[in-house]
């Protein structure tokens, strides 16, 4: 199971990096084409779709590596047991919110399936909105794994 999760993490990082690189290339290509008098308006649209996916994938990578902003003002003043309890309650609240986002995001992706993305024929807006439940599911998995681990004491606590 650990090997499967490690593979998922590597794939997630590779996809996120590829999407970020593709966004830069598409925006640059669109700018050069516009400068040459042949604008490629679709490059910005595709980059926007890739941005939605990359944002959620990168959020999960940061969450997994404890790279998100945290304010330890309250927990630093608590006893270690109370700080650990507060951290667990916080993770449970995050998990509940992410369950809601997965459900609501799935409904949103389903409802928007008939809508075309930026008027591009054959590309459904669901490709963009699906980034919400997919990213939330990955974040939920990371949160549940964090709940299983012992909570380290807060800095300065």
pLDDT value of position 115: 79
Looking at residue 157, what is its pLDDT? 46
Tens-digit pLDDT profile for residues 73-127: 888 888 988 988 998 999 999 999 999 999 999 999 999 887 777 777 777 888 8
pLDDT per residue as tens digits for the range 23-78? 999 999 999 999 999 999 889 888 998 999 999 999 999 999 988 888 788 888 88
Give me the sign of the Cα torsion angle 154, 91, 2, 6: negative
pLDDT of residue 17: 96
- What token pair was written down for 115? 């809508």
Helices (H), the chain: 2-35, 42-64, 80-111, 126-129, 131-148
pLDDT category, 7, cuts 50, 70, 90? very high
CA-CA-CA-CA torsion sign (7, 10, 16, 18): negative
């Amino acid at each position: 199971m650990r090997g499967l999760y490690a593979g998922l993490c590597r794939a997630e990082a590779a996809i996120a990096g590829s999407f970020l690189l593709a966004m830069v290339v598409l925006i640059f290509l669109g700018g050069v084409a516009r400068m040459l008098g042949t604008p490629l308006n679709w490059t910005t649209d595709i980059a926007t779709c890739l941005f939605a996916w990359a944002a959620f994938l990168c959020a999960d990578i940061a969450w997994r590596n404890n790279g998100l902003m945290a304010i330890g003002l309250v927990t630093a003043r608590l006893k270690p047991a109370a700080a650990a309890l507060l951290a667990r309650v916080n993770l449970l609240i995050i998990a509940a919110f992410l369950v809601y986002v997965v459900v609501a995001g799935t409904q949103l992706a389903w409802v928007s399936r008939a809508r075309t993305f930026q008027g591009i024929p054959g590309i459904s807006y669901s490709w963009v909105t699906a980034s919400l439940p997919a990213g939330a599911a990955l974040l939920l998995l990371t949160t549940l794994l964090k709940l299983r681990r012992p909570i380290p004491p807060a800095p300065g606590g």
